[in-house]
Amino acid sequence: MAKITYIDASGESRTVEAEVGATVMETAIRHDVPGIEAECGGACSCATCHVYVDAAWTETVGGPEPMEEDMLDFAYDVRPTSRLSCQIKVTPALDGLVVTTPDRQA
Amino acid sequence: MTETIKTDVVIVGAGPVGLFAVFELGLLDIRAHVVDILDRPGGQCAELYPEKPIYDIPGLPVVTGQELTDNLLEQIKPFGAQYHFSEIIAGLEKTEDDRFLLTTDAGTRFDAKVVVIAAGGGSFQPKKPPIDGVEAFEEKSVHYAVRKMDVFRGKRVLIVGGGDSALDWTLNLAPVAQRVTLMHRRDAFRAAPDSVNKMRKLVEEGVVDLALGQVTELIGEDGVLKAVKAKLVDGQTHEIATDAMLPFFGLTMKLGPIADWGLNLEENLIPVDTEKFETTTPGIFAIGDINAYPGKLKLILSGFHEAALMAQAAARRINPDRKVVFQYTTSSTSLQKKLGVA
């Protein structure tokens, strides 16, 4: 298990237990964390699970693959720390991960 | 005005469930017209995950969205459905003799005994750029599609995006417009490499401007655009004068006109019974992801089941005097004749 903290656009923070192997998107949906829509269900096809990875975690999490980078073109207010949370798999190394959700999902 | 098409059934949506409805209705001798806003069949399977594997279709351990679509098209071929792509049902009214008049945005009109809504998550529509107040500029200055190139003749045009639509229109409008600026958030493009090369050549020749960044604000009044503010990769906000903006940000699913059909929607879903999958309006059925009932699972296989039961009820409505005999395709020569195999 790993703890993941989601901070929404208003600054409210929610920390949940994530199962290793699940994605950051799935973990949010399972715990009813608002701010992530995941319209396509995790197929990297819609850019509605967009998150900003906390600066302290960007290196551990790593950057997007080309396909995800393409899909990020459709997201709102893309920043250098932007990722699609359906493409971040939870690993023990991500215990404590903090992500922020944008004020809207495209 | 075009002639109204008189038919037994109009199916709204050509996703897997809408396509399979053609099959189940076809076995009961009912022909259907199928309308979809996309330019091809498959719905989400074609638009969202054509290459991605689906693992929970009974009998198919793994199949991609496109393969499933192709298989369904093959399977329903004997039933000669007529397809109307790139059209959306804009209006639906009930007539006094219990039929339905449907009109598409392209002006196609249907007079149908039964309507089957298999619209999934709604209709795929162009994603709007997340810029405050963009709606005010739509139609006059902000366009999500190019219908007539001439509209842009002699104008300054800002095209936003990095995919094939953005690149194609950059290349096509460059000779027509006074000036084309292509804006994309990064210096990498999803579009076909050939288009990207052509675009880069035009940029080198000084014919097209390339700006790397994201539009943050629209400036203008009464829906007429004068300029946009954009945050470019240099971190600064720049003002770019333009008469028109063409954002190409892909598609998103929106419920669309279905919301206005008096179907007592619950959270954008259409409540149905689980015997006939009929809505609160007799004669209008809803199957697949768009419907809601206790225990509903948004699975393709559930939609297939719903299509089968819907077809029985639709048949009773369309041919009330005809007895529906339950038969198996394996053993019934009459069904096999319909399938063209006997």
Global ipTM: 0.75
- CATH at B137: 3.50.50.60
Find the domain containing A89 and state its range.
2-16+31-100
Give A18's contacts (C-beta < 8 A, 6+ positions apart). A1, A2, A3, A4, A24, A27, A90, A94
Q: Residues of A numbered 32-71 whose beta carbons fall under 8 angstroms of chain B's beta carbons: which are they?
A: 39-40, 43, 45-48, 69-70
| Distance between CA atoms of residues B171 and B169, nearest Å | 5
Residue B161: which region, alpha, beta or left (left: phi > 0; alpha: psi -120 to 50)?
left
Closest residue in B to A43 (Cα–Cα): B49
State the pLDDT at residue B51.
Answer: 84
Q: Is the pLDDT of residue B334 over 80?
A: yes
Q: Is the pLDDT of residue B1 over 70?
A: no
Phi, psi angle pair for A28, to nearest 5°: -65, -45
Q: Which of B212, B232, B249 is the last residue of a domain?
A: B249
**Letter for the amino acid at A18?**
A
B48/A104 touch (CB, cutoff 8 Å), yes or no: no
How close B15 gets to chain A, by Cα (Å)? 15
Do B160 and B302 fall within a single domain? no
State the pLDDT at residue B324.
Answer: 85
Q: How many domains does chain B have?
A: 2
How close B148 gets to chain A, by Cα (Å)? 25
B250/A43 touch (CB, cutoff 8 Å), yes or no: no
- CATH at A51: 3.10.20.30
Residue B4 DSSP symbol = P
How many whole angstroms from its chain centre is CA B212?
Answer: 30
Each residue of B171-192: pLDDT tens digit? 999 999 999 999 999 999 989 9
Which residue bears the tokens 């949370």? A85
Do B223 and B259 fall within a single domain? no
- The answer as to whether A23 is a domain residue is no
Which tokens go with B261?
A: 């059909």
State the pLDDT at residue A21.
Answer: 95
- Greatest CA separation found in chain A? 32
| Distance between CA atoms of residues B276 and B256, nearest Å | 24
Q: Give yes or no for B53 touching A (CB within 8 A).
A: no
Each residue of B29-43: pLDDT tens digit? 999 999 999 999 999
| Distance between CA atoms of residues A67 and A102, nearest Å | 21
CA distances B137 to A63, A75, B132, B273, Å, are: 35, 21, 11, 42
